[in-house]
Each structure stands twice: as C-alpha cells, then as structure tokens.
C-alpha cells in the first residue's frame, strides 16, 4: 500500500481524474472529499463490501425452484391487487423473444 | 406466438455491479407473463444471475430518491425514463425471499444504461422480507 502524509486542505490525485482531498482532521475522524468521473461510484468500504456479498448471495439463490416459487407468489399477489396495480410500478417495454436478436441500433 | 419469456435489449452498467467485477453488459429477461419477475444475467457467465422485481408488488410505499450523481451517471432527463427494480434473494423457500431496498437497480429505459444505486443515508434495509 502506498502511504502518503497530507495536511488538511491537501490532495492526492489518482489516475489523472480522481482527486482525494483531506478536508478536516478532528481526533480520530478524517473528513475526505472525493472528486471522480461520474462512472466511478464512491462508497464507504463496509457498505460496498456488504453489497458485494448480498449480490453474490442473490446470484447463488437464483435457482429454477426459486424462480417458479417467486412466480407463483407474484401471480397470487397480482391477482389480489390487480385493481390497485393500475397506477403502480411502471412496466418495462418488453418485446417478444424472436430468436437471435439483431443489433439494437 | 408470444411466450412467457421475453427478452429486452442488453443493459449496459458503466459502473458494473458490486460482486461481479469486470462485467458491464447484462441481459434482462422477463420470466413471467405478468412482467413482474425479471432475470438479469451475464451472457458469458451463467453463474452471474440476479432475480429482480419492480418493488411496487411487495413494497408499494417504496419510492427511492436518486442522488444527482446517479441521475447524471444514467443520463436521466425525466423521471419516467427510470425503471426501478430490486434484487431478490430467496431463502429456504421463495416465500422467505428478501429484497434489497438499499441498492435498487435503476435502468434508463431510453438508453439501456443501468446501475445499482446505493441509497446512502436512506436507512433502507439490504434484506427486507417480501412476506406481508
């Protein structure tokens, strides 16, 4: 790991377009400002780690049994709430499966 | 004839999906005739597969507020362009499934760009039981 010493107000530049600035140091808390291109998502490490684990668990759970079970639950939920569903969540535009799909553009 | 399976164009995740490094292109496939259950999968790796639902079916009160960075990332110019889907994790049974309300998948249905957005500071659960 690269270790650098910085004062409050000083920055570190990563790969030309990411700037990490130490804003304030108070006791054992450091406030850090990060400027990065929009496709670079910045998160606290513990949140990101938890999301990684949650996504991998979700992928591992996506079995054919899970799909048929969920489809049955959803069919029941839809039947029960059909009248209210009119103004509910938007539905993605869906095109029927038509063999090998061509280029979108 | 239409079948119960429908296929949407490839979705592009410019920031990827946490847990699946290096993957940016995913296919979103409808799994049921109601349009309520979707399969987001990576064509190159069948082990990468997420089950998604529009949150309204289970969580009608759920109205996530996107931050400006996410709106910019996805190029959203109109709220109607954003389709929100939440990731399901099934337990021992499908009824024991949980939904990730903290980090929904947001799709720009005009461009096909998508991202898993962490709703920082929302206090929303990453494992919300779908059971009523």
Question: What kind and span of H or E run contains A70?
Answer: helix A64-80
How far apart, in whole angstroms, are the C-alpha atoms of residue B47 and residue A61?
A: 10
Chain A residues with beta carbon closer than 8 angstroms to that of B15: 39-41
* Nearest by CB: B19 against A52, A96, A101: A52
Mean pLDDT, rounded, of chain B: 89
Q: Is B111 exposed, middle or buried (0-12, 13-18, 19+ CB in 10 A)?
A: middle
Chain B residues with beta carbon closer than 8 angstroms to that of A78: 34, 36, 57
CB contact under 8 A, B73 and A101: no
Mutation target among A38, A65, A85 for the B interface, most CBs of B within 10 A: A38
Q: Which two tokens stand for residue B53?
A: 């639902």
* pLDDT for res A62: 92
Ramachandran angles phi, psi of B80, nearest 5°:
-70, -20
**Could you give the C-alpha distances from B29 to A20, B83, B89, B101, in angstroms and in order?**
39, 14, 17, 21
Q: What is the mean pLDDT of residues A30-57?
A: 94
Nearest CA distance, A28 vs chain B (angstrom): 22
Predicted ipTM of the assembly: 0.90
* pLDDT for res A75: 85
* Cβ–Cβ < 8 Å for B13, B23: yes
How far apart, in whole angstroms, are the C-alpha atoms of residue B73 and residue B13?
A: 10
CB contact under 8 A, A81 and B57: yes
Instruction: Write the pLDDT tens digit of every residue in B16-74.
Output: 999 999 999 999 999 887 788 999 999 888 889 999 999 998 999 999 999 988 999 99
* pLDDT for res B4: 45
* pLDDT for res B116: 96
Report which DSSP code applies to B47: E
Q: Which two tokens stand for residue B16?
A: 């990827």
Q: Which two tokens stand for residue A29?
A: 């808390």
pTM: 0.80
Q: Name the pLDDT band for A80 (thresholds 50, 70, 90).
A: low
How far apart, in whole angstroms, are the C-alpha atoms of residue A37 and residue B30?
A: 32
In this predicted structure, the answer to whether residue A86 has a pLDDT above a threshold of 60 is no
* Residue A77 Rama label (left phi>0; alpha psi -120 to 50; beta): alpha
Taking the mean position of all CA atoms in its chain, how far away is CA B70? Answer: 14
Nearest residue in chain A measured CA to CA from B54: A89
């Amino acid at each position: 790991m690269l270790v650098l010493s910085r004062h409050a107000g000083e920055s570190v530049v990563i790969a030309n377009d990411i700037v990490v600035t130490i804003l304030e140091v108070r006791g054992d808390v450091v406030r850090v400002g990060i400027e990065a291109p929009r496709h670079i998502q910045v998160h606290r490490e513990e949140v990101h780690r938890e999301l990684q684990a949650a996504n991998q668990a979700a992928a591992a759970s996506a079995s054919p049994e899970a799909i048929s079970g969920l489809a049955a639950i959803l069919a029941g939920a839809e039947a029960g709430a059909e009248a209210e569903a009119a103004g509910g969540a938007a539905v993605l535009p869906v095109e029927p499966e038509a063999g090998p799909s061509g280029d979108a553009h | 004839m239409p079948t119960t399976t429908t296929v949407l164009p490839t979705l592009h995740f410019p920031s990827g999906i946490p847990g699946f490094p290096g993957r940016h292109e995913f296919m979103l496939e409808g799994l049921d005739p109601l349009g309520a259950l979707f399969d987001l999968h990576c064509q190159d790796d069948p082990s990468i597969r997420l089950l998604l639902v529009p949150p309204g079916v289970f969580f009608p009160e759920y109205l996530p507020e996107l931050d400006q960075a996410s709106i910019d990332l996805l190029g959203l110019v109109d709220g109607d362009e954003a389709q929100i889907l939440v990731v399901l994790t099934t337990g021992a049974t499908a009824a024991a499934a949980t939904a990730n309300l903290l980090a929904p998948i947001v799709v720009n249905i005009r461009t096909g760009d998508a991202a898993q957005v962490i709703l920082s500071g929302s206090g929303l659960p990453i494992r919300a039981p779908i059971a009523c």
